[in-house]
Amino acid sequence: MGSDRPNNIEEAVSIVLSEMSAEQEEHLKRVHKEDLINEHFGFGLWVRNLLGHWVPQDGYPAHPDDISSDITKIVWNRLQG
10-44 pLDDT, tens digit per residue, is 999 999 999 999 999 999 999 999 999 999 999 99
Q: Which region holds residue 59: left if phi is over 0, alpha if psi is between -120 and 50, else beta? A: left
Residue 58 has pLDDT above 90, yes or no: no
- Angstrom distance (rounded) from CA 12 to CA 18: 10
The model's pTM is: 0.84
Residue 63 has pLDDT above 60, yes or no: yes
- Angstrom distance (rounded) from CA 36 to CA 57: 25
Residue 54: predicted pLDDT: 55
Q: What is the dihedral of CA 20, 24, 29, 35, to 10 degrees?
A: -120
